[in-house]
Amino acid sequence: MLIKILGSGCPKCNRLEQLTRDAVAELGMEATFEHVKEMDKIMAYPIMTTPALVVDEQVMVSGRMPSKDELLGWLRGR
């Protein structure tokens, strides 16, 4: 599984990455993480605001912090 965090590296972006890493660990899954900070690469995705979470090239959420339960549900579905 490839997980990308889209954002400049702001506190919310870093928090989203940590929450997602925690959820992956809780589920006992393996994933590769990328933190995409380059604006031209972020603009390649259909999002208007960051932070954004992309799992296997599918945008799961953007512009808000998902709950732990949301993260777990999305990841279980993979």
Neighbouring CB atoms inside 10 A of 24's CB total 19
Q: Which two tokens stand for residue 28?
A: 């006992």
Give catalytic status of residue 20 as yes or no.
no
Give catalytic status of residue 10 as yes or no.
yes
Q: Where are the alpha helices (DSSP H) in the chain?
A: 11-27, 39-42, 68-76
Catalytic residue among 2, 10, 25, 29: 10
Query: Can you tell me the distance from the alpha carbon of 1 to that of 18, in angstroms, rounded to the nearest whole number?
Result: 16
Catalytic residue among 5, 6, 13, 53: 13
Catalytic residue list? 10, 13
